[in-house]
Amino acid sequence: MTVGSEAFNEGATIPEQYTCDGADISPPLAWSEPPSGTESLVLIVEDPDAPGDVWTHWVAFNIPPGTRSLPEAVSPDSAATEVPGIQGKNCWQKIGYGGPCPPEGSEHRYLFRIYALDTILEIDAGSGKKSVQRAMEGHILAQGELMGTYARQ
């Protein structure tokens, strides 16, 4: 699967409006058609360069397989119609998107990953990345990734 954004290209700098230095809103995302047999999609956004451990910026699961994109500025409200599926907790222990916010002077990579699963996850709303990943084990049919970077001055 391929993942892209109208806001930035693969390997490019993520615009400030999608970070803690700007409006801290989610960027628009789009992806290719998942393989046949896909029952749900999962989105995980993380910073593998964070000090200590990988930092999770966004988790969403049970996204219907016919969904091909998410708009800019997705609301963390579970009743919001722009997000089909369920949003989980990020590493700030908040539901929804939290933008890049690396230590000053350090450029970090941010991985926007989409997973196609052969099942619907039977986990609670608000689950974090570890719970989602455990539930995904053995069910991943395909995945795609978009990588962007950000550094605070």
**pTM metric for this prediction:** 0.95
Q: CATH homologous superfamily of domain 3-150?
A: PEBP-like (3.90.280.10)
Residues 13-61 have pLDDT tens digits of 999 999 999 999 999 999 999 999 999 999 999 999 999 899 999 999 9
Predicted local distance difference test score (pLDDT) of residue 113: 99
67-89 pLDDT, tens digit each: 999 999 998 876 555 667 899 99
Sheet order of strands, 40-47 included = 86-87, 55-63, 40-47, 108-117, 140-150
Cβ of 76: how many Cβ atoms within 10 Å?
Answer: 16
Sequence ranges of the domains in the chain: 3-150
Place of tokens 């000090």: 51
Closest CA to 106 of 57, 73, 149, 70: 149
CA atoms within 13 A on the CB side of 76: 16
